[in-house]
Amino acid sequence: MSSEQSYNVDNLLSLVEKYHKYDKDQESVNYIDKLVKEENWLELDNLLTNPIKFGTAGLRAKMEPGFSRMNNLTVLQASQGLCAYALEQYGDEALSRGVVIGYDHRYNSETFAKLTAAPFLKKGFKVYLYRTKVHTPLVPFGITELNAVCGVMITASHNPKDDNGYKVYWSNGCQIIEPVDAGIANQIRLNEEPWAWDLDICNTSDLCVDPYDEMVEKYFSRISKLFPKADSEKAQPKYLYTPLHGVGGKYAKKAFADCGLNPFEVVEAQYEHDPDFPTVKFPNPEEKGALDLAMEEGSKIGAQIILANDPDADRFSAAERLPNGEWVQFNGNQLGTMIGFKTFEKYQGGSQKVGMLASAVSSGMLQAIGKVEGYDFEVTLTGFKWMGNQALKWEQRDPTMKAIFAYEEAIGFMCEDIVRDKDGISAMITFVNLANQLYQNGTTVYEYLMGLYHKYGCFVNENSYYICRDPELINTIFDKMRYSESGELNYPEELYGFKVTNIRDLTIGHDSSQPDNKPLLPVSASSQMITFELSGALEQGQPESNITLTLRTSGTEPKIKYYSELAAPTDPSLDISQVEQRFKQLQVKTTEVIQGITKALLKPEVYGLASA
C-alpha cells in the first residue's frame, strides 16, 4: 500500500463520490467503500482514475468495480454512448432498424447483454437480443440480415477467465473504425450518468425480440452452400473437435450435419461451456499447450485431424497426426494460405474477378500465389476491423470484384461474404472440405502444404513477443531504432548480416519503398509499428532470401510483438520429402536469424525486457 502523499486523495474521494452516484450495484459500491476505509489509495487509483478506454475493439478489461474495468456501470455507459451515436447518425430510422446483441458463456456475459439492451429499449429501439449463448459471427451476420444500425457482442474471446469485453459492429456488419469509434467515445463521455438501471425491461418490452431461430437457419443455410454436400459413403478422416470450453460445440456440430459430413469425436473434458477454462492456461488454440489434451486424446482414439475453435468460435485452428504418430499444428499463416487457396479454387477459371486480403503482419505467401494464379490482393493494418471494411470498400470501388477471403496470422479467417469478420465455423468447414478431398486422393494436409511450398517457394514464420510494462520505455526503444542522437532519421542499413532494403514506419509516416516516402497504409502516432524488409543469403553460395520483420506494440497487452517471415525459393527438382527437409532447415535458420535481428533492435538485456 502506497502512502497518501503519493496520490491526490481529494481527487480520489471525488471519484468515489461520483461512483456512488452512478453505480447501482451495491456489491461494487461496497468494495470501493472498503478500499476507502482501508485507505488503499493505490487500488482506488487503479480502479477509478483512468476510465476504461473505448476503442476500435469496443471495450475489453478485467471484470472488477471501478471506472477502469468491465462491470455493469461501464457496460451501461458504453451502451448509452452507442445508442446516442446511432440516433445522431440515423435519427428515427435507427429506432425501427434496431440493434443486434449477443453474448457468450463468460461470467456476467448475459447480464452485460441485458444491460446493453436497456438504454436502446428505453429510447424506443427495436432490440434483437439473442436469448442464448451464441458464437460471435451471429452478431455481424444478424446486423446485415436484419438491416440493423449496429450490434454488440459480449465476449472477451480467448482472454483469461477474469476478463470480458464489449465488441461493437456498425451498420455494415463490420467492426467499427474511425471516425465511428471516436464518435461513440465522445457520446459515452456526454452520457455518463445512467438513464436507467433495468434488466427487467428485456422481458417486459415488446420491442425486445429473439432472432435466434431465424438467424441460425439463415446462417447455416449459407454455410451449407460453401461446398457441395459431402458424400458420407466416401472416406473421410477421423476428426476430433474441441471448443476449448467455449460456445462453439453446437455450432460446429450443426455445421457438420448440414454439410453432410460424418460426425466428429469430441474432447469431452473441453466440450461443455465452462467460464473457468479449467484444462488450459490460456483458452486460445494457437497458444503453446492449448491442444495438448486434444492431441493426447486424438492419439488414443486414432483421430487423424484435430479441429479447434477459440471460446467464442470466431477463430479456428487445426492439427494433423503424421504417419509417425507425431502431431503437427498448422500456424495461422499456413491455415490462411491453404483455406484461401481452397476458396480460390471454386472460382479458378471462371469469369468472376476475385480478390483476397491479409493483414500487414501476415504471410506474403497467399499474395505471392495470387501473382502466379491471377487473383487480386490487398494488405491492410492488423485486425478484421480493417479487413472487413476494406473488403466492402474494394467491392464498392470495383463492382466487378468479389472479395472471397481474408485472414490474419492470429488464426482469424473470413470465408466468402457470410460475415465481414472472422468466422471459425466457415473456416473449419472450408478446411474440412480440403482435408476430405486430400484424404480421398491418398494424401495428407501436411503433404499438400509441402506441395504448395514446392510450387510457390518456402515461407517460414517466426513470431513472438517481449514483455514491457513501461510505455515510455517502449517509446524510447522504438525511437532508438529510427533516430540518431541528433534527432535525424537514422534507420539501420544492415542487421545480422542482412541488407535492409525497405523500411515502413506507420508511427511517423515513413515508407522508403514509395516514391514520396509516404506509406499507403494508415498512419497512427498513438501506436508503434515498424516493418523492416531485408535481403541476403542464409549461407554462402545460396540464392538470396527475403525477410520481412514487423515490430509493433499491442493495444491490449504490455507487449512488444514481432512478426517475421523468410521467403526462399524452392529448387523445382526436389521431391516432396526433400522439400520437407528444406522447410525444416529453414525453420531452424529463421529462428536463429530473427532472434539475432530482434535482439539487435530491441536490446532486451539492456532494457530488461522479458521474452515470451
Sorted by sequence, the CB contacts under 8 Å of residue 294 that are 6+ apart come out as: 240, 242, 267, 270, 306, 308, 319
Tell me 554's DSSP state. Answer: -
N residues, the chain: 612
Collapsing DSSP states into helix, strand and coil, what is residue 202? helix
CA dist 273 and 246 (Å) reads 5
Beta strands 610-611 and 529-537 are unpaired
Cell matching residue 489:
532519421
Active site residues: 157
Collapsing DSSP states into helix, strand and coil, what is residue 561? strand
Tell me 214's DSSP state. Answer: H
Check: CB of residue 383 under 8 Å from CB of residue 56. yes
- In 3D space, the residue among 436, 428, 432 whose CA is nearest the CA of residue 412 turns out to be 428
* Helix (H) or strand (E) run with residue 318 in it: strand 316-321
CA angle, 311 then 315 then 317, to 5° = 100
Q: Locate cell 542522437: which residue?
A: 485
Collapsing DSSP states into helix, strand and coil, what is residue 95? helix
CA dist 508 and 525 (Å) reads 6
The CA R_g of the chain, rounded to the nearest whole Å, is 25
Q: How far apart are the first and last CA of the chain?
A: 29
Question: With DSSP H G I counted as helix, E B as strand and the rest as coil, what are the percentages for the chain, rounded to 5?
Answer: 40, 20, 40
- In 3D space, the residue among 568, 501, 492 whose CA is nearest the CA of residue 533 turns out to be 501
Q: Locate cell 491455415: which residue?
A: 335
Check: CB of residue 267 under 8 Å from CB of residue 293. yes
The amino acid present at 600, given as its one-letter code, is A
Its sign, for the CA torsion 411, 413, 419, 425, is negative
Helix axes 445-456, 424-440, angle to 10 degrees: 90
- In 3D space, the residue among 114, 119, 109 whose CA is nearest the CA of residue 63 turns out to be 109
Give the CA diameter of the chain. 76
CA dist 220 and 541 (Å) reads 54
The amino acid present at 302, given as its one-letter code, is G
Check: CB of residue 570 under 8 Å from CB of residue 458. yes
CA dist 89 and 80 (Å) reads 14
CA angle, 328 then 334 then 335, to 5° = 90
- In order of 154, 246, 444, the CA distances from 270 in angstroms are 21, 8, 26
CA dist 50 and 56 (Å) reads 18
Tell me 135's DSSP state. Answer: -
Burial of 139 (0-12, 13-18, 19+ CB in 10 A): buried
Q: Phi then psi for 216, rounded to 5 degrees? A: -65, -40
